[in-house]
Amino acid sequence: MNGDYDMNVNCRTNDILDPDQKSTFVLGHDLNMNYMTRYKNEGVKALVAAARLEMDPAKRKATYADVQKQAKADVHWIDLYYSPFISVTNKGGSELWPEPAWPVLAGTDSKDQLKRPTEFARGGPLSPPLSQQQGTCHDNRHRRRDCGSRQVAKALSRSGWRGGCNAGRVIAARAWGHANVDTAQPMTIGTRLPICSISKQFTCQVLLATVADPAVLDAKVAGFLPQFTGTLPTVRQLCDNQSGLRDYWALTVLHGAFAEQPFRREDALPLIARMKTGHFPPGTQYSYCNCNFRLLSEMIEAETGVALDELYKQHVWGPAQMKTAVLTADTSQPEDGVVGYEGSDAAGFFPAQNAIYWVGDAGISASLSDMLAYEAWIDATRDDEGSLYRRASVSPHFIDGKPAAYGYGVSHESIAGLDFSGHGGALRGFRAHRLNAREARLSVVVMFNHEADAHGAAESLVHAAMGRIAPAEAPLPVGWDGQWIGPNGLLTRVKSGRSYASLNHAGGAERLTLAAEGTLTSPGATLARKADGLTLTRVKDNTEATLVALAILDSANVDEIAGQYHSTELEALMEIVAHDGAAHVRFSGLLGSGRMERVVPAGPDVWTVATRRSMDAPAPGDWTMIMKRNAKGAVIGLTLGCWLAREIEYKRV
């Protein structure tokens, strides 16, 4: 088409992810004659280019206002007819997404919450599908604000679904990308994805529905831990991740498992039964532990005589109208032909091969429609103190009376000044997160079939809904960088940037920023300089520890640590192999002999073992290995641990 025409009959759909896409196409693009209009204004073209690069949201908005003002003054085209958003479909229409009438979240009088027309992120608002809007005309007067986030924008270039509810009403639902890129199978709001550890709260709600008092089952815990020498956890402590037990998925690495090998239903209980100690006394701290919920599922089924999936249907899925939710305990057979993808933009993406059997701690598959129905049910029962989610989301405590942030499979956190309950989930190739603010009556659900940050995306949607912009971060003073060992035997590292520091202690890196009192803080941790050294406080874990500085070593004698080591705790072996200055370790145990993992010196007699892929996700990450020597200086053993499984003793054989 050469632009030689007077009139064009056209229609369009809205797939615009950023204002630049449309403004460049229509006003700043010479090659297509600015959408075949032959319009040309070098001043407008320069403004479009400037807006494309502007990072300040307010300045960018002002520049686009100038673009619109000048272009309209030039009358670059005239719409002979414009409909203010009228959509008509028959009852059989489904998953047809209109250009939205921007949803307005119901306001509240407290905390200036939810008062603006909003959308939930870049890539378009999350309005309901036309099949849920029968008989409704939408006046598209509320224009979009650019309140997206890097996490959401990046995830939108791949695939997943996300949605939200306010006051029990679905205000947002969107699916994009592909459930399987090889077959071009599209992702839809009806595509069932593994919600992974979000399943934990369903297990706890079934427990509350079927057992009058969870303490009734306390005596049954001993049967699963026949060799345990310490104080046994209660059922409530299992529900609250205060058991002190080491996570069984982390222990699969030390028992010689490959990430891709099958883990059968019958493999779990023998592994758990070998446990003899915990890594803290029950009720005193928090530590994430999947086997807590595996034990719950076994006890619930034994007590009721009913399979767990039937109990889910009876007590949660049915009342919540989660019509397509199922228990997919075998991860090698995901529902609806879905494929999860490992990898990164730099390395590329590849299908994740999962083969674990999990139940109680994870296993549920659900669609976006199912999860939004669940959020609506939570809202509908929010004032009923006897309702299952209300009971499961009560504020938990440690045995010392201090408030805890996790109970009955529900995590508690504050975002944008609101108190949220929710949970995340992960399996290799999948990430999920849901959040609910009871007082604001706001819920957000995010699910990816890749490994982007689902919690970050969900948090971004909350900020978008609230119209909040994060305050500028203060520059960090020098002197925070270094590494330390804490009383839990874990290597702690801090690396500073210009306005934030990365803390590596409990799994992945945590982002710390400078607080007014001079400490470095994140939602989960505080680093403070005191007279006796650096103090790390983790309120969620109920811990405070003075860290011991550790000198950094880039090289060490690998030959003196080479050899075989045995763990009585695990009834398992490890072999450290030294070859020409490099060291690797292989773990062997109940599940076989695993792959060689690299061993790297960190400090005097302190090494790290990197596990980047394992049966569960995220993988344990870096294990801290602390060597033990006798009076003559010979290595006689070691202590190995990660946040999920700490301070495991090995003796040299």
Per the rule left: phi > 0, alpha: psi between -120 and 50, beta: everything else, 133 is alpha
Catalytic residue among 23, 127, 197, 287: 197
Task: Tell which residue, 106, 126, 128, 129, has the closest CA to residue 117.
Answer: 106
Buried/exposed code over 577-613 (b: 16+ C-beta within 10 A; e: otherwise):
ebeeeebbbebbbbbeebeebebbbbbebbbbbebee
d(C-alpha 442, C-alpha 368), whole Å: 16
Catalytic residue among 200, 367, 540, 567: 200
Query: Is 197 annotated as catalytic?
Result: yes
d(C-alpha 162, C-alpha 368), whole Å: 7
Please answer whether residues 623 and 650 qualify as being in contact, where contact means their C-beta atoms are separated by less than 8 angstroms: no
Q: What are phi and psi of 420, to 5 degrees?
A: -115, 145
Please answer whether residues 594 and 588 qualify as being in contact, where contact means their C-beta atoms are separated by less than 8 angstroms: yes
The residue whose two tokens read 């995010």 is: 446
Q: Write out the two tokens for 308.
A: 């767990």
Q: Write out the two tokens for 198.
A: 């979000």
* Count of CA atoms in the C-beta half-sphere (13 A) of 448: 26
Please answer whether residues 324 and 369 qualify as being in contact, where contact means their C-beta atoms are separated by less than 8 angstroms: yes
Task: Tell which residue, 67, 69, 189, 187, has the closest CA to residue 128.
Answer: 189
DSSP one-letter string for 470-511 = PPPPPPPPS---EEEE-TTS-EEEEEE-SS-EEEESSSSEEE
Buried/exposed code over 39-76 (b: 16+ C-beta within 10 A; e: otherwise):
bebeebbebbeebbebeeeeebeebbeebeeebeeeeb
Provide the strand spans (E) within 199-246.
none
d(C-alpha 498, C-alpha 503), whole Å: 14
CB contact set of 407 (below 8 Å; sequence gap of 6+): 239, 240, 392, 393, 394, 395, 396
Please answer whether residues 625 and 309 qualify as being in contact, where contact means their C-beta atoms are separated by less than 8 angstroms: no
Alpha helices in 2-80 (DSSP H): 19-27, 33-36, 42-53, 57-74
Contacts 24+ apart (CB under 8 A), 310-316: 311/206, 311/209, 311/210, 312/202, 312/206, 312/364, 314/209, 315/205, 315/206, 315/209, 315/210, 315/388, 316/202, 316/205, 316/206, 316/374, 316/388
β pairing state of 160-166 and 406-407: unpaired
Catalytic annotation, residues: 197, 200
